[in-house]
Amino acid sequence: MKLPLALVALVILAALILPPLLPWPYDIIDWSAVRAQPLTELHVLGTDSVGRDLLARTLVGTRVTLSVALAAALVALVIGVAWGAVAGWAGGKTDEVMMRIVDALYALPFMFVVILLMVVFGRSILLVFLGIGAVEWLTMARVVRGQVMQLKNRPFVIAAEAAGAPSFAVLLRHVLPNVAGVAIAYLLLTVPQVVMVESFLSFLGLGVQEPMTSLGILVKEGADDMDMSPIGLLAPGGVLVTMLVCLTIAGEKLRDRFAA
Amino acid sequence: MLTLILRRLLTAIPTLLGVILLSFLLMRFAPGGPFDGERPLDPATREALIAAYGMDKPLMAQFGTYIGNVLHGDFGPSLIYRDFTVTELVAKGLPVSLTLGGLAMVLAMTLGVGTGLVAAAKPGGLVDRVLGVLSTLLTSVPSFVTAPLLVLLFALTLGWLPVSGWNDGAVPNMILPVIALALPVAGSIAKLARAGLAGALAEDHVRTARARGLKPLTILFRHALRPALVPVASYAAPAAAGLLTGAVVIETIFALPGLGRYFVQGALNRDYPLVLAVVTLYAALIILFNLLADLVYGWLDPRVRE
């Protein structure tokens, strides 16, 4: 768990600190070095098919992808925790109806709903993460509901209620803090999920738009140009895969720790 | 059993209607319509076109007409591919997508369950741990990264297989798309199968079988495998959904004439009837897979049958 998290931290730090320090910004064309090989004239990873520095683009793309992912995961966290907590706490008919809705939504082809949203409301970066966050909260809701149901019958909760605390205050003060650990584990697992959706949309041209870039766009550009320079695909693809694998491993470890 | 199937089919109808209504409304409230091109149309022509497609009536009336037509197998004319009805386009694209998805499902199941069997044979051993990391790797690498890498290696560098195209379903053209589509799903199935088997092998009935002196392989296949496949079966529906969405990007990368490509093209061009038809079809397929998964579930684990 330490190695994956360290790798993630390293990539995040590089994406945050390095771009302004590089000799070439991510969106400026170097006319004298179009499709340059790695290590030519200050282009550490070379340039893409129109002469933009690949390292700078990969780092900026990572930054965009990760910020979208984090924002969307937070949206998912808020909706999921709220929905799950209310369902689990209320119980009975309310719980039944709310979880049936989650079940029904689970069965839907979500990527298509997100694509519809993108098409209908235009392709703004705000909508990308609102849309993704709005569909990625289902698992969170289920997990939080399960936790709340378990906590509901614990002595300290019953004691708080017996002491006359208002129901909502008990939920907020005594139950939710105990859900935090599991919620954070699932937040960590939601991030790679969201990274994947964002890259998927950007890959199809429906997510982040030029001149902004993201790992999905870079993989797409690299794939289109891979017969000329494979590094254009390998660099952003490598970063994307590293992030996804490390976040998944760390999230699973954390989840198992809280589940036990 | 029959009542179970009937009940599930009955509850599927409102879900399906909900999906259709949602995507119908979303598409209609979208800014810009199918007749807004780069060259503005003459207002009279525009009116005539809108009237011809019945888009001047109230929304609910349009929805009612649409549902009625769908029940007759008529999804309306495609607004972009002018000479085709949506039904014709779907009829062309569906076989391609189903072939692709079906083959990928078979490959993912074989690969996944096989890996799970090998890994669970000695839980905690070196093989188990290596395969565990490998499965995690497979599930977290998206198919739009694997697909170009496979093309780079097997098509561009080694030249063994074609880069893209469908070629009327020739086998060499199908190999790379099917593999790229199947790998992420295979990873998830491997994890589930391994966990299920490890759990089943620790159960009392397996211990009894071992005490009776049955061969390890007999125990594995006759006594442990069936209950171990329950979690795999319940994953069949999400797997199908994953394959359908994966197919969108795979069909785009390999330029295959499947449903997913029509969906992306339709969505980018605001071809309402086409997009609606594809979403409806996908939702119906996923509901169908959920039902199938439940039935297999009951067959694998008699306890859930009541």
| Of A200-209, A244-253, B35-44, B273-282, minimum mean pLDDT range | B35-44
- Cβ-defined contact of A117 to B26 (cutoff 8 Å): yes
Of A109, A220, A233, the CB nearest to B245: A109
pTM strictly above 0.90 = no
Q: What tokens were used for B225?
A: 């495998």
- Cβ-defined contact of A233 to B152 (cutoff 8 Å): yes
Please give the ipTM for the structure prediction: 0.75
Can you give the pLDDT at residue A105? 75
Q: Mean pLDDT in chain B?
A: 80
Predicted confidence (pLDDT) per residue in A36-90, tens digit: 677 677 776 777 777 677 788 888 888 888 888 888 888 889 999 999 999 988 8
d(CA B259, CA B274): 10
In the stretch 24-63 of chain B, residues with CB closer than 8 A to chain A read 26-27, 29-31
Q: Which residue in A has a C-alpha nearest to residue B32's C-alpha?
A: A120
A113 to chain B: which residues are within 8 Å by CB? 22-23
d(CA B301, CA B293): 12
Q: What tokens were used for A257?
A: 């720790």
Burial of A204 (0-12, 13-18, 19+ CB in 10 A): buried
Looking at residue B135, its amino acid is S
Residue A208 has pLDDT above 60, yes or no: yes
Predicted confidence (pLDDT) per residue in B234-260, tens digit: 787 778 877 887 888 888 888 888 888
B156 to chain A: which residues are within 8 Å by CB? 226-227
- Cβ-defined contact of B136 to A111 (cutoff 8 Å): no
Q: What tokens were used for B277?
A: 């038809």
d(CA B238, CA A213): 30
| Of A100-109, A116-125, B249-258, minimum mean pLDDT range | A116-125
Q: How far is A140 from chain B (nearest CA, A)?
A: 17
Contacts of A2 (CB under 8 A, 6+ apart): none
**Which of B140, B261, B289 to probe the A interface (max A CBs under 10 A)?**
B140
**Alpha-carbon A199 to chain mean position:** 10
Predicted confidence (pLDDT) per residue in B150-197, tens digit: 888 887 777 787 777 776 767 777 888 888 888 888 988 888 888 888
Of A104, A109, A245, the CB nearest to B282: A109
Helix (H, G, I), strand (E, B) or coil at B231: helix
Residue A167 has pLDDT above 80, yes or no: yes
Can you give the pLDDT at residue B107? 92
